[in-house]
Structure 1
Amino acid sequence: MDKLSVMNAFRRIVERGSFARAAEDLGVSPALLSREVKLLEESLGTVMLSRTTRSMSLTDSGQLYYDEARGILDAVSQVETRIRDGAGVVRGHLKVNASSSFGQTVIAPMLPGFLDAYPDLRLTLSMDDRVIDMVEGGFDVSVRIRAAMPDSALVARKLGTMRQQVFAAPSYLERFGSPQAPQDVSQHRVIGFLLADHLSAWTLHGPSQTETVDVDPLIRVGNSLVLRDLLISGQGIGTLPGFASNDPVARGELVRILPDWELPAPEIFAVTASRLGMNAKVTAFLDHLRMALEP
């Protein structure tokens, strides 16, 4: 028995003074309403409505049930109205998780404009390079960069694609030369990203073919920005996502090597615990993030 549905039906019968009129309002048959009231009376062990062929009246129990049911139904209606009215309002506490490098390079610069646009919003930004438990951490959204998201109860929305290419500093290339083909990589000092799928093998896509090169990084780090800084200092060659490489390349601190080749591009996902996680504050944050990711 759906208690709220039965309460609503009972209230409508009392206020309309007729099973037939209440049934018409609710779009059901009078017989169904009569059966529901009978089941309600049986479950409570008391008569709620005194009925004759000509009239209907509330018993004392029926009056008590009607008064309480009306208060409950009005309270539920008020809560639903408040939620609907506030569904599009960006306020409250937004908890975001992202990798350290992506958070510092992409999310942090967009935060002032985002927070200026929504001054009533509280924000917690947690940065962790390892995948965290969103539900346990209480996060509204987690931004993850992966080749693909595994099947799970989480809901992932693709925000964009992040190119992954090979770089070195001019100082390194002056000392050791530049690899001309993927197989030349084995002759160079490689700096690897600990959490990458390609730590020990690079699958490089070229103009007309794909080659996989085994690598054994002499230096392994767990943060893309640390890897970037080591490359800039001339310590070796390595792969970087676009958000970490664009600025140093523009400044001439890094040079793209093997320019006709690149690794598979990982996807940028916004992950929420459920579809209900896409409330107004999450939607606003992801709109700003999409703009920050535009070239």
Structure 2
Amino acid sequence: MDKLMVMRAFCRIVERGSLVRASEDLGVTSGLLSRELKLLEKSLGCTLITRTTRTMALTAQGMQYYDEATAILDQIEKAEERVKIGVGRIGGPLKVNVPHSFGTTVLTNLIPGFCSEHPDVDLTICFDDNVIDMVQGGFDLSIRIRAELPDSGLVTRRIGSVKQALFASPNYLAEHPRPTTPDELLDHDLIVYSLADSTTTWNLQKNGEEVGIRPAPRHRIGSSLVLRDLLVSGLGIGNLPDFLSDEAERTGKLTRILPDWHLPQRTIYALTGSRLGFDTRSTAFINYLSSALATHS
């Protein structure tokens, strides 16, 4: 039994909460993982995980073994990374979670450059607008765009910012009077992004003044890409981040509403669940993304 390999497999089983999901990450069968787990428990003389057909839970011994195993594996990984940095090589797997709209409109254009700069990094990128559990999802790194992050114990780094504004299409404005004050928004067909930090209030700001508008939305949309397309089609007024609105505004497909007012900026965060912080692959990815965003801002 390769003790180090089994240790890694055990930790992945715990983090993913499932033999099947862990086997998919590791590229082996769940049957093999089950056998390796039994051999590990036999060698230790105790049960580490209690299992039924539907659930699994760590025993006290399992929790102790997991804590000590992760510490050992983290130290091994750090030692390997220090050596790789010393010879100028960063490589290995990197699994990243990004918001769908940001990933498809911004990150897609940056991936080729990163891969060219770091050809030994094996990228897995998942696009999802929902806030996911990084550990359960097996992610090394997550990119999130929020006004602020709750205290979650994750290690975070700010890598950019996103401006927001209200938009409508020229067709919509041809059939409806253009709002001249925030309160007049309530007389219009409003579309909100249902996965936003807050869907109940739009806080509009101008010269130190702030007005909170509580929209009664006509439509709630769970994709900001779809929301943008609905605004372009003339369905109403909605809020968009600049990476989605810039081209449509530049080409005249969308018109800014209440241009003297602005919504609070959102921050682009990079997060990791590692207790030792960002590893070299994650750091390289974050540095590349941060530099690229600064160049294009």
TM-score (norm 1): 0.70
Contact 1:145 1:269 in 2 (8 A): yes
Q: What amino acid maps onto 2:258 in structure 1?
A: L
Q: Distance in 2 between matches of 1:147 and 1:197?
A: 7
Contact 1:98/1:144 (<8 A) preserved: yes
Structure-2 separation of matches of 1:232 and 1:163: 19
Q: 1:126 to 1:164 in 2, by over 3 A?
A: same
- Counterpart for residue 152 of structure 2: 152
Residue 261 (structure 1) aligns with: 261
> Which of residues 79, 84, 87 is equivalent to 1:86?
84
User: Which runs of structure 2 are paired with 1:1-295 in the superposition (5 Å)?
Assistant: 82-87=80-85, 89-274=89-274, 276-294=276-294, 295=297
Distance 1:129 1:79, change over 3 A: closer
* Letter in structure 1 aligned against 2:264: P
Q: Distance in 1 between matches of 2:78 and 2:96?
A: 27
- Aligned pair in 2 of structure 1 residues 120, 183: CA closer, same or farther (>3 Å)? same
| 1:174 Cα deviation from its structure 2 partner | 1.1
Summarize the Cα distance change of 1:116–1:141 in structure 2 as closer, same or farther, 3 Å threshold.
same
CA distance in 2, matches of 1:87, 1:138: 24
Equivalent residue for 2:11?
A: none
In structure 1, distance between residues paired with 2:276 and 2:173: 51
Distance 1:186 1:117, change over 3 A: same
Partner of 1:14: none
101-110 or 274-283: bigger deviation: 274-283
**Is the CA contact (8 Å cut-off) linking 2:81 and 2:280 kept in structure 1?**
no
Matched residue type, 1:199: T
What amino acid is the match of 1:235? L
1:252 alignment partner, SS class? coil
249-258 or 195-204, larger mean C-alpha shift: 195-204
**C-alpha separation between the residues in 2 aligned to 1:216 and 1:283?**
42
Stretches of structure 2 that go unaligned for 5 or more consecutive residues are 1-75
Offset at residue 79 of structure 1 (A): 9.0
**Which of the two has higher C-alpha Rg?**
1
The 3-state SS of whatever aligns with 1:96 is strand
Pairwise CA distance, 1:275? 5.5
Change (3 A) 1:87 1:253: same
Contact 1:194 1:222 in 2 (8 A): yes
State the distance in 1 between where 2:271 and 2:77 align: 28
How big is the shift at 1:82? 4.4
Deviations 1:133-174 (A, max 9, x none): 111111111000111111122011111221111111111111
> What is the CA–CA distance in structure 2 between the aligned matches of 1:80 and 1:282, rounded to whole Å?
13
User: Under a length normalisation based on structure 2, what TM-score does the superposition of the two structures give?
Assistant: 0.70
Equivalent-residue separation in structure 1 for 2:255 and 2:206 (angstroms): 18
Closer, same or farther: CA 164–124 of 1 in aligned 2, 3 Å: same
1:23-82 CA distance string (max 9 Å, x none): xxxxxxxxxxxxxxxxxxxxxxxxxxxxxxxxxxxxxxxxxxxxxxxxxxxxxxx99864
Q: Aligned-residue CA RMSD in angstroms?
A: 2.0
Hey, what's the Cα distance between the residues in 2 that align with 1:275 and 1:87?
A: 20
Q: Distance in 1 between matches of 2:77 and 2:95?
A: 24
Q: 1:116–1:83: structure 2 CA closer, same or farther, 3 Å change rule?
A: closer
Q: C-alpha distance in 1, partners of 2:192/2:78?
A: 52
Could you tell me which amino acid in structure 2 is paired with residue 231 of structure 1?
A: L
Q: Match of 2:136, SS?
A: helix
Letter in 2 for 1:170: P
Counterpart in the other structure of 1:36 = none
- Say if 1:205 and 1:264, in contact at 8 Å, map to a contact too: yes
Distance 1:227 1:134, change over 3 A: same
CA–CA distance in 2 between the matches of 1:183 and 1:134?
A: 40
What percentage of residue pairs aligned between the two structures are identical?
Answer: 46
Measured after TM superposition, the shift of residue 197 of structure 1 is: 2.9
Check the 8 A contact 1:231/1:238 in 2, yes or no: yes
CA contact (8 A) 1:87 1:279 kept: no
Q: Which runs of 5+ in 1 are unaligned?
A: 1-77
Q: Whole-Å Cα distance in 2 between the matches of residues 234 and 217 of structure 1? A: 15
